[in-house]
Amino acid sequence: MKAVKVTKEARSEKAHIRFRVNGEPVEVAFSPHKTLLEVLREDLGLTGTKHGCELGECGCCAVLVDGRPVLSCLVLGAAMEGHEIATVEGMADGTKLHPLQAAFADLGAAQCGYCTPGMLLTAKALLERVSRPSRDQIKAALSGNICRCTGYIKIYEAVELAAAWMAGEQAEAPKESVYGRQ
């Protein structure tokens, strides 16, 4: 995936950081030019976080840093010392899916699934900030995450459904979302 060249000298001495990933302390050493995305995928084996463009445009690589969505392809791993990272692997509570994960799965909001981790984490940050976002707030929050499969509609509906569940409602997706308008 790498598009930039790094000199041999820069690679020779490894960066060494301690941070928290999905609630657990992690210590890792890596070539200092590596992005957080590369550290997560290559050094920690957390391949749930995807890459799609190398320049912070597609949103596939979004993770939460201290609860805020960050494009992990634009952040150096070395800058993460002491921070708290959340990736898609940490979203479920044991075997219980996060409501966003369940709603995405139920509504077919993950087609090819490649944008899904970034979408889920960005949506999670939104719902932590605004518990019942309007459709326009959802669109604004997800405007940096590109999906080529769904046309976003099922994603909005899944975020709305998850928000309702998280508010304690026994909500179902509107019939029109599932069967079309009659």
Partner 1 sequence: MADNNGKGPSGLRVIGKPFRKVDATAKCTGETKYADDIVFPRMLHAKLFRSSVPHARILSLDTSQAENYPGVKAVLTGKDLPKAYGAMPVSEDEHALAIDKVRMVGEPVAAVAAVDEDVATEALDLIKVEYELLPTITSIQSAIEHPEPRVHDHGEVGNIHRRQVYEFGDVEAGFAEADFIREDLTFYEGSTHLALEQHASVAQFSHDGKLTLYTCTQDLHYLHKALVKVLGLPASHIHVIATPNGGGFGGKCDPFQHEMAVSKLAMITGRPVKICLTREEVFYCHRGRHPALMSTKTGFKRDGSITAMHHRTILDGGAYGGLGVATGFYTGTFQTTTYQIPRFKCEAVRVFTNKAPCGPKRGNGTPQPRFAQEVQMDKIADQLGLDPAEMRKRHLVPPASLVANWVRVGSMGLGKCIDKAVEGSGWKEKFRKLPYGKGIGLACSGYMTGAQTPIYWNNMPHSGVQLKLDRGGGVTVYCGSAEIGQGSDSILAYIVAEVLGIDPFDIRVVTSDTDLTPVDLGSYSSRVTLMTGNAAIQAAERAKDLLKQAVAEKLEVPADRLVFADRRVFDAENPEKSQTFIEAVWLAETKFGTLGTVGSYKPPAGKAKFKGSGIGPSPAFSFTAAIAEVEVNPETGIVVVPRMWVAHDVGQCINPVLVMGQVEGSIYMGLGEALMEEMTYRGNRNVVHKFPSFLEYKSPTTLEMCDIVTYLIEDHDSNGPFGAKEAGQGPQLPVPPAIANAIFDAVGVRIDEVPITPDKVLKAIRDKAKGLEGRYGPTKFTYPSEMPAPIFVPTPFEGGDGKPVERQPVVAHA
Confirm or reject binding of residue 43 to partner 1 (CB under 8 A): no
Confirm or reject binding of residue 14 to partner 1 (CB under 8 A): no
Q: Is the dihedral of CA 46, 48, 54, 55 positive or negative?
A: negative
Binding-site size, partner 1 (CB under 8 A): 70
CA 37 – CA 52 distance, rounded (Å): 11
Helix/strand/coil for 64: strand
Work out whether strand 15-21 and strand 84-86 pair parallel, antiparallel, or are unpaired: parallel
Confirm or reject binding of residue 101 to partner 1 (CB under 8 A): yes
- State the nearest-atom distance from the C-beta of 27 to partner 1, in Å: 20
C-alpha distance across the termini of the chain, in Å: 46
Site for partner 1 in 133-152 (CB under 8 A): 138-140, 142-152
Confirm or reject binding of residue 110 to partner 1 (CB under 8 A): yes
Confirm or reject binding of residue 129 to partner 1 (CB under 8 A): no
**Length, in residues, of the chain:** 182
CA 63 – CA 74 distance, rounded (Å): 11
Q: Which stretch binds partner 1 (CB under 8 A): 12-20, 51-59, 75-83, 126-134?
A: 51-59
| Ramachandran assignment for 161, one of left (phi > 0), alpha (psi -120 to 50 degrees), beta (any other) | alpha
- Residues of this chain that interact with partner 1 (CB under 8 A) are 1-3, 5-6, 8, 11, 31, 41, 45-55, 57-58, 60, 87-89, 91-92, 97, 101-102, 104-117, 120, 138-140, 142-154, 156, 173, 177-182
